[in-house]
Chains A and B, each alone.
Chain A
Amino acid sequence: MGETLIKVEGLSKKYCRSLKKSMWYGMRDVGSELLGRRHGADGSLRPDEFWAVKDVNFELKRGECLGLIGQNGAGKTTLLRMLNGLIKPDQGRIEMRGKVGALIALGAGFNPILTGRENIYVNAAVLGMSKQLVDRKIDEIIDFAEIRDFINSPVQTYSSGMSVRLGFAIAAILIEPDILFLDEVLAVGDIGFAIKCLNTVRGMTNKSAVIFVSHNMQQISGFCSRVIMMAHGMVSIDSSNTSEGIDRYYDLVKHAEQISGTGEAEVLSLTLTSHGKIIETEDSAIDTSAELTVLLGLRIHDSITGANLVIVIRNDAEMPIRTFPVCNSEGEDIVYSAGEYLVEIPLGPIELNSGRYAFVVAISDVSSGVILTRVQGLHQFRVVSEYNYWSPGVSPRVSRLISINDNT
């Protein structure tokens, strides 16, 4: 245990923005490869090229699980494809020890006409497994995928969940890698199956060096002992403190501000305070137990007789996490007539998971329901909790012991 399995030195890769040029460069690269010349020439960029991966260095030992994070286009998948030997580096060197396995492209090579059973053999052969091994393990695969009733039906009759489950089961049961690559594969099937996948992968990660690409920070923090964040093809953070890496990732996430609606109402200002202190977007992360208050300035135009106000908090996946209807002490929605207002809305303890959030404010006409204005991506803020939980809302509660029986 503990020996270095992956060594990456000065690894770089160029990509081309223009399709026509890319095809032409490809032909020229094949030509120079055939002449025995070095790929990537002297390391300069040709017209329309850019560095998809630039000067990446790291080492990974057995037992380590590296979370590779970064926004779309940061170079994560390109790096993984080079490590997997699918494409050739332009600069640098990769050295790997042991068997390489990947949980990527589940169910590759499935033919929809053939039955599930036949496809298990095809897929296993693509992964380099012998027929004898599959013969021994086929029942285990079928049971894992939970598709015994359908195993002799053509795969085209499967639901998308079923074929992904089968794909995952084949790969997860057959491969026994020293080095494992995972690319966004754990969100497979329904929640019961997803948990089974997570447990299986966790079992594999103990025995191998793992690189795990995901946009799901809960999974990253749950699995990884180390995080590399990539930005513009370069390593911007390499840290064994996963929550630090994740926090920096959220720092990069930007909610785009967007205004829609008829324009007969406006949001003039939004100020966020905690215990009387103003919190700016650039400020450091808010603690998950902090109590927040919103000060909202709004204007309703003369044409409107009555309007309602709703505030929503959304996460970085643009999913609404919490809705705050603005109401009076009787619990009825407050109706605003034409005019300018400054409203204070106490949100209470935010109880949110680590992440980056933003407000959505919507003002709609009471009688017709027409949306007068809806502003999203307002006043972004970051929350940090000590641990990354599985749900966007986190409400720690103190338990009370009723009885205890320690004989069992």
Chain B
Amino acid sequence: MSELRITIYTPDSLLANPVSMGREMLRDLAASMQLAWRLTVRDLSAQYRQTFLGFFWAIILPLANTLVWIFLSRSGVVNLSDTALPYPVYVFTGTMLWAILMDALNAPLKIVTASKNMLAKINFPRESLVVAGICQTIVNALIKVALLLVALLAMGIYPDWSVLLFPIGLISLILVGTVIGLALTPVGLLYTDVGKAIPLLMQFLMYLTPVVFAMPKSGISATLFQLNPMTPLILTARDWLTGYTPEFLGYFVLVNVVAIILLFLFWIVFRLAMPILIERMGS
């Protein structure tokens, strides 16, 4: 008879024994993969089976946003400084990339909240939910990018070899979005204020990022745009996609390195917090 696995639960903080915690984290992550993929397939097929327009929903919001901004600039309601790219291309790529970031950011809290009932009753690796959220974001992002490429070609923008680097830009957007989303999840599970505040704050942050506006040349807004960690993500991804040379490559690398470190930290926080939060969520 094979050796039985021993499970021990005590009130001690899991941090008290970092080695076994690390081992369990890796084991659970490995065990999460198959479940995460199942959950992804489940959510995506359910999501698209219930709609008439199907995959078009992945681009309808950014498309509408683009049209609004093109209208605003053409009609002179807002005065926008010139962009190197034609403005419609600039806005469309910007809003698409921003939508991908927002998808990634919203995913962890959304999927964990939707699974409350399961979390309260079944013991399964909690990481799988976060991984499933990332998988869904990636699938939705690929749909967006495919349509974006078609639109670029239609508008007469022909990407050069640097488009091969674009996946790095895409991964960075999803990485940073996931890190922020994961950081907000523990608090957001208890206090719904977080879920309500995210769209508000992110809308504000969008206007401080070169999504619909060009980079300001001077003044306080120029400083804010340059400090904003989202700026290098959007600009670099857009530049690689449209064949321009990225200006903020150094900051781009720095943001990614910090994001990777934070991803590990927030993963630990998430893991430690879940049993305590599940107790407070009720069943």
CB nearest to A101 among chain B residues: B123
Residues 152-193 of B, flagged 1 when their CB comes within 8 A of A and 0 if not, give 000000000000000000000000000000000011001100
A128 and B35 within 8 A (CB)? yes
Bound together, the chains give a CA A45 to CA B217 distance in angstroms of 59
B4 and A97 within 8 A (CB)? yes
A 74-116 contacts with B by CB, 8 A: 81-100, 102, 104-105, 108-109, 111, 113-114
Candidates A39, A95, A108, A113; contact of B46 at CB < 8 Å? A113
CB nearest to A12 among chain B residues: B11
Given A90-B11, A95-B6, A22 and B280 touching (CB < 8 A)? yes
B42 and A122 within 8 A (CB)? yes
Q: Please indicate the chain A residues that have their CB under 8 angstroms from the CB of B43 in the complex.
A: 111
A114 and B9 within 8 A (CB)? no
A88 and B275 within 8 A (CB)? yes
In the complex, B49 has a CB within 8 A of chain A: yes
CB nearest to A179 among chain B residues: B7
B15 and A82 within 8 A (CB)? no
Bound together, the chains give a CA A401 to CA B12 distance in angstroms of 67
| Stretch of A27-35, A228-236, A282-290 lying at the B interface | A27-35
Bound together, the chains give a CA A86 to CA B120 distance in angstroms of 7
B190 and A33 within 8 A (CB)? no
B124 and A118 within 8 A (CB)? no
Query: Can you list 25 contacts pairing A with B, beta carbon distance less than 8 Å?
Result: A23-B190, A26-B277, A26-B280, A30-B273, A36-B15, A37-B13, A38-B12, A86-B120, A86-B123, A87-B276, A88-B275, A89-B9, A89-B11, A92-B11, A94-B9, A95-B8, A97-B4, A108-B117, A108-B121, A109-B39, A114-B42, A122-B39, A125-B39, A126-B38, A127-B124
Candidates A23, A90, A96; contact of B6 at CB < 8 Å? A96
Query: A34-B273, A96-B7 are known contacts; what are 8 more A-B pairs with Cβ within 8 Å?
Result: A33-B14, A38-B11, A85-B9, A105-B118, A105-B122, A108-B122, A125-B34, A126-B122
B35 and A23 within 8 A (CB)? no
In the complex, A212 has a CB within 8 A of chain B: no
B16 and A89 within 8 A (CB)? no
Q: Please indicate the chain A residues that have their CB under 8 angstroms from the CB of B12 in the complex.
A: 38-39
CB nearest to B1 among chain A residues: A3
Bound together, the chains give a CA A118 to CA B46 distance in angstroms of 11
Hey, which bits of chain A sit against chain B, CB under 8 A?
A: 5, 22-23, 25-27, 29-30, 32-40, 81-100, 102, 104-105, 108-109, 111, 113-114, 118, 121-122, 125-128, 130-131, 178
CB distance from A75 to the nearest CB of B (A): 14
Bound together, the chains give a CA A29 to CA B117 distance in angstroms of 22
CB nearest to B120 among chain A residues: A86
CB distance from B22 to the nearest CB of A (A): 14
Candidates B7, B15, B35, B115; contact of A125 at CB < 8 Å? B35
A29 and B276 within 8 A (CB)? yes
Q: Please indicate the chain B residues that have their CB under 8 angstroms from the CB of A97 in the complex.
A: 4-7
In the complex, B45 has a CB within 8 A of chain A: yes
Given A86-B278, A98-B4, A125-B39, A34 and B50 touching (CB < 8 A)? no
B6 and A82 within 8 A (CB)? no
A93 and B276 within 8 A (CB)? no
CB distance from B254 to the nearest CB of A (A): 26
Main secondary structure of the interface of B (DSSP, over half): helix
In the complex, B63 has a CB within 8 A of chain A: no
In the complex, B82 has a CB within 8 A of chain A: no
B118 and A126 within 8 A (CB)? yes
CB distance from B126 to the nearest CB of A (A): 11
Q: Please indicate the chain B residues that have their CB under 8 angstroms from the CB of A114 in the complex.
A: 42, 45-46, 49
Bound together, the chains give a CA A82 to CA B272 distance in angstroms of 15
B123 and A84 within 8 A (CB)? yes
CB distance from A10 to the nearest CB of B (A): 10
How many inter-chain contacts with C-beta < 8 Å in the A-B complex?
152
Q: Please indicate the chain B residues that have their CB under 8 angstroms from the CB of A81 in the complex.
A: 283
Bound together, the chains give a CA A247 to CA B20 distance in angstroms of 46
Q: Please indicate the chain B residues that have their CB under 8 angstroms from the CB of A118 in the complex.
A: 42, 45
Q: Please indicate the chain B residues that have their CB under 8 angstroms from the CB of A100 in the complex.
A: 7, 123
B16 and A36 within 8 A (CB)? yes
User: 5 closest A-B pairs (Cβ-Cβ)?
Assistant: A105-B121, A26-B280, A125-B38, A39-B11, A113-B46
Q: Please indicate the chain A residues that have their CB under 8 angstroms from the CB of B277 in the complex.
A: 26, 30
In the complex, B10 has a CB within 8 A of chain A: yes
Candidates A29, A34, A93; contact of B10 at CB < 8 Å? A93
Q: Please indicate the chain B residues that have their CB under 8 angstroms from the CB of A27 in the complex.
A: 187, 190
CB nearest to B122 among chain A residues: A108
B122 and A87 within 8 A (CB)? no
Q: Please indicate the chain B residues that have their CB under 8 angstroms from the CB of A32 in the complex.
A: 13
B15 and A34 within 8 A (CB)? yes
Q: Please indicate the chain A residues that have their CB under 8 angstroms from the CB of B42 in the complex.
A: 109, 111, 114, 118, 122
Given A32-B13, A33-B15, A85 and B123 touching (CB < 8 A)? yes
B8 and A87 within 8 A (CB)? no
CB distance from A138 to the nearest CB of B (A): 14
Q: Please indicate the chain B residues that have their CB under 8 angstroms from the CB of A95 in the complex.
A: 6-8
Bound together, the chains give a CA A194 to CA B61 distance in angstroms of 50
Bound together, the chains give a CA A92 to CA B275 distance in angstroms of 16
Q: Which of B9, B14, B35, B120 has the most CB of A within 10 A?
A: B9
CB distance from A348 to the nearest CB of B (A): 46
Residues 111-149 of B, flagged 1 when their CB comes within 8 A of A and 0 if not, give 000010111111110000000000000000000000000
CB nearest to B3 among chain A residues: A97
Bound together, the chains give a CA A109 to CA B120 distance in angstroms of 12
Bound together, the chains give a CA A96 to CA B10 distance in angstroms of 12
Residues 16-40 of B, flagged 1 when their CB comes within 8 A of A and 0 if not, give 1000000000000001001100110
Candidates B6, B13, B31, B117; contact of A128 at CB < 8 Å? B31
Bound together, the chains give a CA A40 to CA B269 distance in angstroms of 18
Bound together, the chains give a CA A126 to CA B39 distance in angstroms of 9
Q: Please indicate the chain B residues that have their CB under 8 angstroms from the CB of A96 in the complex.
A: 6-8
